[in-house]
Structure formats: structure tokens, C-alpha cells
A and B are shown apart, each in its own frame.
Chain A
Amino acid sequence: MNIRDKELRLHTISVLVDNESGVLARVIGLFSGRGYNISSLTVAEVDGEIRTSKITIVTRGTYQVIEQIKAQLQRLVPIHKVVDLTVDGPSVERELALIKVKGVGEKRVEALRIADIFRASVVDSSNESFVFEIIGRTQKLDAFIELMQPLGLVDISRTGIAAISRGPEAM
């Protein structure tokens, strides 16, 4: 990685924060105020006792911009740690989607068959619809959604990416 590299790259950044009021607004405000891009953002409490939350942000930028983003995040007071999962060793990324498909007859059967191939599970069904739950990398979800398109896709909810480093080390 070179600071002079001008190529735009996607980075997954994991941010451990104090779960206090306004902390998400600080992070989002930093991105909008400084013109950084957000491709995906997830947040949830990870330790109820010491009240910490983890924010996973996928952002696009040159190396210089990504370094700026990390330094700016680090500067926010209620932030414990900032890790760039794209740079700091291997990591796993997962996303969950709930996908509603409406249809009858052959299309309905075809949707079920594809869901099976993708290991998506049915979490709701009616006479003319299914809701599939699918978990995987973003590309897998994208591929599944594309195949559902002609089969009566009517609604999608996606969680955005959660990510963690591989191996025994904690963040």
C-alpha cells in the first residue's frame, strides 16, 4: 500500500465505541461532514455490561483518504478502537438479507429450487409468497437477488456487513 496510490478501494472498517447517546450520529456526521462515502454501515451493542457497540463501515477511497478516515474516527472521544479489516490481516464478512418473492406455479417452484442451491431458508410462506433468509458475502446476496428478480421479487431488507478478523485475536 502506498500513500500516493490514487486507486479507489473498498475498505471494511471496524469501530468499537462506547454505546452512549449520539455516538452513531458522531460517526455518520463525520462521514457526511467531510464528504466520505459510506457503502454499508451496521451497528449493534456487543457488550451489555460495559456498554460497547461495534460499528462496521464499508467505505470507498484512495489510500490517503482511508488513512484520513481512520485518523478522524480515532479522534472521536467515545471511540475505543479502529481497525481496518481490509488491511490488517484476513477477515470474514457476512451479511443477512430477507427477500420476499411473490408468485405461483412454476416460478414458485423455481424460486424454492434456487433458494436451496444458495442455502437460503424460508422464514415465511403464504399461498403466493415466500420470505427467504440468506446469509453470506455481499456478492452471494447480490447473485441470489438477481436470480429472484424474474421470479417475482417484491421486497428486500439487507442488514449491511458485519465483519471480524480471522484467528484467535480479539479486536
Chain B
Amino acid sequence: MATKTLNGSQIVLRALKDQGVDVAFGLPGGVLLPFYDEIYQQNELKHILVRHEQGAMHAAEGYARANDKVGVVIVTSGPGATNTITGLVDAMMDSIPLVCITGQVPTALIGNDAFQEADTTGITRPCTKHNYLVKDVNDLARIMHEAFLVARSGRPGPVLVDIPKDIFLAEGPYVGPSKVEHKTYRPKVKGDFTDIKEAVKMMAAAKKPIFYCGGGVINSGPNASKLLTKLIKMTGYPCTLTLMGLGAFPASEKQYLGMLGMHGTYEANLAMHDCDLIINIGARFDDRVTGRLDGFSPNSKRIHVDIDPSSINKNVLVDLAIIGDAGHILEDMIKAWKSEQAIPNKKALGQWWEKIEGWRKVDSLKYKSTKKVIEPQFFLERVAALTKGKNAYFSTDVGQHQMWAAQYLPFEEPNRWLTSGGLGTMGYGLPAAMGAQVAHKDALCVCVTSEGSFMMNLQELATCVEYKLPVKVFLLYNAYLGMVRQWQEMFHGERYSASVLESHPDFVKLAEAFGMTGLMAETPDQVDDIIQQTLDIDGPVLTVAKINRTAKVFPMIPAGAAHNEIILGEKDLPDDAQNNTDAMVLT
């Protein structure tokens, strides 16, 4: 063979380089020693040493989401691999492209219950888009390139490559990415143009249309968001975004109705309920968006653009499905809109907007502020105001603070909003912000969190300090598992079962113990100053805001309710809410 042979470790590094990877998040271990020895002797791949494998996963997710690239993780066998499970499923649910390299015990020991052995490919099969166990060094280069192809194309997702220790040491040939063609995997990216023309006809004929767009637009790349914005402006139709889609259409645009779903705005949800045409681009009719299915948008026709055929007719039946990449389809939709000389029904659209503006006047995100206690909504509005124009990246954890962040932080561009949508992983926020900061060294990277979530991955503060990653953490402190508490107050007779966090560290001292700055705001008048200080300090900062402990997220569509049964605030709660427990379980 004319090809120069390399050892397995060198093959992996060469493949990473050829795939354009310059950063990986990882944590070594026994079976990875040969690989880490090779990493030590080179300068092309920057390795970020995390403090827990789950941290590596979410960091890679944040990196991928903020950078429109594939995130790379390197972890050892056994516990190293099992610690990645939550991150893998998280990336699977939110369609985040990752390649996770796991070490495995030597080939000869597989199946013998060796030290730190786990059936990694077996365990991760349903948690990944695809996975590989490399049994022959001759397959290694091909598998590495295939992994990247599968991770980033089609509906993106996590791919795991399990490499036994002896394969890292064995010598084999290297082949470049251009020589690798997948035997079976051919995702469809171009939409059927006849269907696209049909869609445009339906759009022009609609009297009460709405664009409902999601993470698929973000995953298609920044250009898809530009095309979406262009199409929406051409039509003059309203647009709502899912949690994963925030930033796909600028929040400052008049045609934007805000996020929809369980904690979406009044106007977005009522428009979805009342519309006669849903134009779904890259969203998947998730149960947190649709509410009760038999009460969902009862009088609408639906167009569904999705890259994944299994998303079609999964939850909600649609009238026209177009399979393909959002960017390509949006481009063709714009073409078709022009070539078909589509003209919206001006009169009907005017009436539709009148109705929507009426709902918008309800101002469903208004809240009461006092001078005594910091309202979380107020705090986030101030964060938004003081970071305006800084092109910041925001990550969140999961729970009340996540919903407030989604409601009160406006996003003008894609790839700025990093959150765990599908899986709802507490502990996602800090490592995700860290990953974004690795991708954008000089950008402002903010993590909005609360102590319940934050405590799940706070070890990564050490990583932030070690690599001088100036992540700004805003921790909304309420000494509760706030979202659980909110449901217990509203639907479980105020029985706060296991939702009160009785003991907690002094977070300011905790930050200092990690070698970074800790700040604390206890009253509303301190808020602006503390936020400004946080932004001005050169380095990572953990800033705690003691918020109104019993603040709740509104509006809210309770589980098992329809969009038009939206609850706007405390006074709006139905009398029997507390008794209606079967529809109100946290499902």
C-alpha cells in the first residue's frame, strides 16, 4: 500500500484536522493514555480539560450551537462513556452535531468485564444518531470521516466512535475525507419544487396565516435565518418561534409575535389557535408547543417543512409535507413566491393583524415590580438592556429561569441562544456557555441559571478559570426547584414535596474558592450596578440575584390544555385547577 501508515492515535488526530476540528473537550483515562500521549505531542488540536464528562458534552453542544460546527468530545471507557449519556440524548433531542470519541478496553478484553469496561455502543445505540465500535485499525480513518458526515448532515445529531486501546496503538493506513463515501446514508436536502409551488399557493390563499418556525432553521445555518426573514417580510405574515428557534427571525421585527407554547405569549398562542394556515419551517409540533392535541389549532391547514420524514404526521397531521433542508426550501419558496406572483389577500390579512394586535395589547409578559424584592423578569430585562448591542451569547439551564430568559431576552440573530429544549437537562447552562466562549474567545458569553440546575455541573467553573474563559453567570436564586414548586402551588395543593432547597453554599465565597469573582444583588436598586460590574470584570464572574422566591412563569398553558385555555396570571387560574390533577402531572 502506497499510503503512509500511522498509528491509531495519529489517524484520529489527522482525521480531526481534516474535518476542520481545532478544539475538543475531554477527560483522559486508562485506555486513552496512548491517544493523550499523541495529543501532548502536537499543537493543532486544542484540548479543553473538563472536570466531568457531562460537562464536556454540554460544552461541545454549546460550541456547536454557537459556532455552526461539529462539537468534539473525547472521554475514556466505562464511567467516562456512561457519563456522556445525558449529553448524547440532549444532542439527539435538539439535533446538535457532535462526534464523541470514547476509549474502550483492548479488543481482546471486550466482553470479559474488564476494568472500566462498559458496552458503550450497546448503551448508546438509542442515544445517538449512529455509533461505531472500531475493531480494525484499517477502518478507523473511514469511520472517523463517516462520523462527521453523519453528525453534521441531514438532521444533525450525536455520533459516537468507540475505539479500543489496542486500535489507538495499531498501525494502519490513513485516507482523507474526500475518499470516503457512505454506503447507505443519503439525506435529502432539496425539497420537491412542485410541492413548494403548492405551498406558495396555499400561503397566498390563506386569510389567517402564521409562520411557526423552529430549530431546523438554526441548524440549516445562518443563511436560512436570513432567507426566512426575507420570506416573512415578503408575505407580511406573522411569525412565532419555538424555544429552539429563537433568533431565527429578529425579535425586534413587528411581525414577530414571540415564542409560542406552554410559556409562550398570548398573541402567539391565540394566533396559532385561530389561524387558517400554519407554515411550519423546521419545528416538530412538540407537546410543549401544541398543548392538548385535539384542541390544537382546530381550523387550520398545515404545511410542514422538515428534513426528517419521521417528524411528518408524528404528532399533528399535516396537509402538505416538504422534506428537505430549511435553507434550500426557503430559497425555493422565495423563488416560487416571485414566479407565481403570489399576492396575499390584503383585506383578510389586515383583519387578521387587527385581531393579533388586539391580543398583543393584553401585554401578556407584563409583571409587577416593587422596590423591595428583585423580580426575575425585571432582572432579565435589565440584563437584556445592559447587554444590548454586545452581540452576546446566552445559555440557560432548565426551569423557570429558562422560560423567563426565553421570554425577556430578545434575539436578533441565530446561534446566540443555547438551551436544552427537548430533553430539558438541568446542568446544561454553565458548560454550554463555556463551549460558546471557547468558540468565540472575545465575545460576551452569559449563562442564565438558578441554583437547582447550577449545582449539577458547577465543577466546570474550574475549567473556566483554568482556560481564562470569561463566562458571566447570572444565577437567579430562590432556594427552590422553582418550576416544580410552581406546579405544586398551582396544581398540587401547595404541597411542596422535595422542591425546597434547604441547604446551599455561599455562592460568592464559592466563586472566590474557584479563583473567580462572586457578586450578589439583593434589592432592585443594586441590579443595574451588579450587572454592569459583572460585564466589566475581566474574567469569569458568578453573580447571584436573590429573586422573589414565589415568582411564577406566566403566561402558562397547563399540561393537557389547549392554546386558548392559556392562563395569564395568578388571577386567571381556573377554580378547579388544583383538583384537576390528572391533566396536570409533570409529563
Contacts and interface: CB of A to CB of B under 8 A. Distances in A.
Contact of B125 (A25, A64, A68, A74): A25
Interface string B131-172: 101010000000000000010000100000000000000000
Interface stretch (B198-206, B311-319, B477-485, B559-567): B311-319
B128 to A, nearest CB: 10
B122 interface: yes
A33 B184 CA distance: 23
A150 B104 CA distance: 55
B129 interface: yes
Contacts of B308: 71, 75
Contacts, number: 49
Nearest to A69: B310
B352 to A, nearest CB: 28
Contact of A77 (B129, B135, B312, B313): B129
Interface in A1-53: 3-4, 18, 21-22, 25-26, 29-30, 33
Interface string A54-82: 00000000001001100110111111100
B486 to A, nearest CB: 30
Nearest to B310: A71
B126 A33 contact: yes
A57 B121 CA distance: 24
Interface residues of B, number: 22
Nearest to A26: B125
Interface in B309-336: 309-310, 312-314, 317
A77 B185 contact: yes
Given A4-B317, A22-B121, A26-B125, A77 B130 contact: yes
Contacts of A29: 125-126
B314 A22 contact: no
Residue among A29, A64, A75 facing the most chain B CB atoms (10 A cut-off): A75
Contact of B184 (A25, A64, A78): A78
Contacts of A3: 313, 317
Given A68-B313, A75-B309, A77-B129, A18 B122 contact: no
Nearest to A30: B126
Contacts of A68: 310, 313-314
B131 to A, nearest CB: 8
Contact of B312 (A21, A25, A33, A71): A71
Nearest to A73: B310
A71 B309 contact: yes
Nearest to B186: A80
B183 interface: yes
A114 to B, nearest CB: 45
Nearest to B308: A75
Interface string B174-203: 000000001111000000000000000000
B309 A74 contact: yes
Contacts of B313: 3, 64, 67-68
B184 A77 contact: yes
A126 B530 CA distance: 92
A18 B309 contact: no
Contacts of B129: 77
A18 B125 contact: no
Nearest to A32: B126
Contact of B133 (A21, A74, A76, A79): A21
A118 to B, nearest CB: 41
A67 B312 CA distance: 9
Contacts of B309: 71, 74-75
A64 B314 CA distance: 8
Contacts of B122: 22, 25
Contacts of B121: 22
A22 B312 contact: no
Contacts of B184: 18, 77-80
A30 B125 CA distance: 10
A77 B312 CA distance: 19
Contacts of B183: 18, 78, 80
Nearest to B130: A77
Contacts of A25: 122, 125
State the 6 A-B residue pairs at the shortest beta-carbon distance, nearest first: A71-B310, A77-B130, A71-B309, A72-B310, A80-B184, A77-B185
16 contacts: A3-B317, A4-B317, A21-B135, A22-B131, A22-B133, A26-B125, A29-B125, A68-B314, A71-B309, A71-B310, A72-B310, A74-B310, A76-B130, A77-B130, A77-B182, A80-B183
Given A21-B135, A26-B125, 11 more contacts: A18-B183, A22-B122, A22-B131, A22-B133, A33-B126, A67-B313, A68-B310, A74-B309, A77-B130, A77-B184, A77-B185
